[in-house]
Amino acid sequence: MNKIGQLLNKKQDKLLSIYFTAGFPALESTNEIINELEKSNVDLIEIGIPFSDPVADGPVIQFSNSTSIENGMTLQKLFNQLDEIKNTSMIPKILMGYFNPILKYGVEEFCKSCYNVGVDGVIIPDLPIYEYENYYKDLFEKYGIHFIFLVSPQTSLERLQQIDSMSTSFIYAVSTNSTTGGKADLNLQAEYFNKLKSNLKRPFLIGFGVNDNESFSTACNYANGAIIGSAFINALTKNGVLNKNIREFINEIRLL
């Protein structure tokens, strides 16, 4: 079974997913970060595919994207890196990125590469549901790759139900209509989160505005867990030893 499916079968609450951009802060730091996150017992890892023109990302993730590209990161390089740890890293991995690099790589070749290196799911924010369903759904299913949809406070009930019916793992609930890295009082979105809880059969994780133990705990009160990106990327740039910075950040999130 896909590792995301295995995870959700045994755990449904306080799920912690960590996002970082591949090739940041250094080109060869990708696997080091993955290994340390796995040792720190996070539940999921979202690996960003660097892109020059991100739409929904704030300045921190934009900086990590541009630095990664300058470092020489490419989609093929990322697959080569993941191939090195496919037999030793058991944590569920999700690739998150925009559709253009995937289209250029070749969608079926992308799905095949994901399967070969142990990627379990993808998040492609700018691929419309219609195009996914009519042109690409069969390819992702052929290779057992979960496609993870995003919802926002503006998502209609009809669209929520459509996304819920098409989802095979969890749903990414954007907390606010903003870019990543901002601060948000998640309790102000209680009505929205309760709407999701009442209408979704699939688990959902809250992202955007989750950056510390307090916001992670709040998110877990409403959802099955949360996604942290910008705050973690900031932790990667701190002075000191990378592995130690990662461990300390995760411990602070979970107050271990």
Beta strands at 93-96 and 121-123: parallel, antiparallel or unpaired: parallel
Whether 186 and 222 have beta carbons less than 8 Å apart is answered as yes
b/e sequence 80-115, b meaning 16+ C-beta within 10 Å: ebbeebeeebebbbbbbbbbeebeebebeebbbbbb
Catalytic residue among 36, 43, 46, 120: 46
Q: Read off the DSSP letter of residue 128.
A: -
Which one of 43, 57, 133, 252 is the catalytic residue?
A: 57
The helix/strand/coil state of 162 is helix
Are 52 and 176 in contact by the 8 Å Cβ rule? The answer is no
57 catalytic per annotation: yes
Q: Using N-to-C axis directions, what is the helix angle for 242-254 and 30-39, rounded to 10°?
A: 40
Angle between helix 213-222 and helix 190-199 axes, rounded to 10 deg:
40
Q: How far apart are CA 239 and CA 27, in angstroms?
A: 18
120 is known as an active-site residue = no
Catalytic residues: 46, 57
